[in-house]
């Protein structure tokens, strides 16, 4: 039970850290000032959620690893994030679409997790739910604006749908051990979130004139530490300071 919980928390934390890191790459590069504020702000929320999750995972593990040790001092194969979180940002359309998919999913996830049988998970969820709701709304509006916008924005949004489509199925997989965690009421069963998630996506996609994604083909491997080529490059930047100056602090 404890080992399963540790692993489930780590996976969730890795999703948030890695995606937060990706979003932070937009700082200073977004197509407009408002988005230059929005994307790093969302990154900040995700990294904040990751910190709470890592800290709790470290407590559950019980061998003295804190949030920094878990976030910075593991090798690539030990990260268990979803592949969609580590994919390069692509253009603004692709970043926003991924964020919409993720925030829509996490909103459903946290809504259930706030009633978790585990008090710490419930507390993290209670906080995260408000943030996810804001992200979901912001990104959903952009998906509609771009999908139903100019020929160029619609083309880019549809292209982003196609790039991200094979990475969506992994969102709904319960990894090894995590089904046990969901059966004990600690974290939601991911497979049950697919239907409400599709309903939410469909609502936005209809307004955006986009084709509903097909979830049948899904790349997998993130939960087992088998990553895309992009992950090593991401970690090289994320871990640079800890690798150069081990145990540094300021």
Partner 1 sequence: MVNSQAIRAWSAASAVLDPEVPAVTVADLGILRSVEMDEYGRAVARVTPTYSGCPAVLAIELAIEAALRDAGFDPVIERSLTPAWTTDWITDLGREKLRAYGIAPPVAGSSSKRALFGDVQVSCPRCSAKDTSKLSEFGSTACKAHYRCNSCLEPFDYFKCI
List residues binding partner 1 (CB under 8 A).
Answer: 33-34, 37-38, 41-49, 51-52, 119-120, 122-124, 126-131, 133-134, 137-138
Shortest gap between Cβ of 118 and partner 1 (angstroms)?
12
- Please give the structure tokens belonging to residue 146: 């771009």
SS3 215: coil
Shortest gap between Cβ of 165 and partner 1 (angstroms)?
27
- Nearer Cβ to partner 1, position 21 or 227? 21
Shortest gap between Cβ of 38 and partner 1 (angstroms)?
4
> HSE on the CB side for 15, CA within 13 Å?
18
- Nearer Cβ to partner 1, position 18 or 168? 18
| 167 and 218 Cβ atoms separated by less than 8 Å | yes
| 1 and 180 Cβ atoms separated by less than 8 Å | yes
* Runs of H (alpha helix) within 114-193: 119-147, 151-164, 178-183
Shortest gap between Cβ of 133 and partner 1 (angstroms)?
6
- Nearer Cβ to partner 1, position 8 or 125? 125
Rg (CA), the chain: 17
SS3 194: helix
- Nearer Cβ to partner 1, position 63 or 119? 119
Instruction: Select from 202, 214, 200, 139 the least CA-distant residue to 169.
Output: 214
- Nearer Cβ to partner 1, position 49 or 94? 49
Shortest gap between Cβ of 33 and partner 1 (angstroms)?
8
């Amino acid at each position: 039970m404890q080992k399963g919980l540790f692993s489930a928390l780590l996976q969730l934390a890795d999703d948030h850290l890695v995606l937060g890191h990706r979003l932070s790459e937009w700082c200073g590069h977004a197509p407009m000032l408002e988005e230059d504020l929005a994307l790093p702000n969302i990154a900040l929320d995700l990294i904040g959620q990751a910190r709470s999750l890592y800290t709790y995972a470290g407590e559950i593990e019980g061998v003295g690893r804190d949030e920094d040790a878990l976030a910075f001092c593991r090798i690539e194969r030990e990260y268990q994030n979803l592949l969609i979180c580590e994919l390069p940002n692509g253009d603004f359309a692709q970043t926003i679409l991924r964020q919409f998919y993720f925030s829509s999913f996490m909103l459903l996830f946290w809504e259930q997790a706030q009633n978790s049988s585990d008090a710490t998970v419930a507390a993290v969820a209670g906080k995260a739910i408000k943030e996810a709701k804001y992200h979901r709304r912001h990104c959903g509006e952009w998906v509609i604006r771009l999908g139903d916008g100019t020929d160029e924005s619609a083309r880019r949004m549809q292209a982003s749908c196609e790039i991200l489509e094979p990475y969506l199925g992994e969102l709904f997989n319960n990894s090894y051990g995590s089904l046990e965690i969901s059966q004990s009421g600690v974290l939601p069963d991911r497979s049950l979130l697919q239907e409400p998630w599709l309903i939410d996506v469909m609502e936005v996609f209809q307004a955006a004139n986009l084709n509903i994604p097909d979830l049948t083909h899904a790349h997998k491997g993130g939960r087992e530490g088998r990553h895309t080529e992009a992950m090593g490059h991401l970690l090289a930047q994320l871990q640079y300071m800890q690798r150069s100056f081990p145990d540094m602090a300021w």
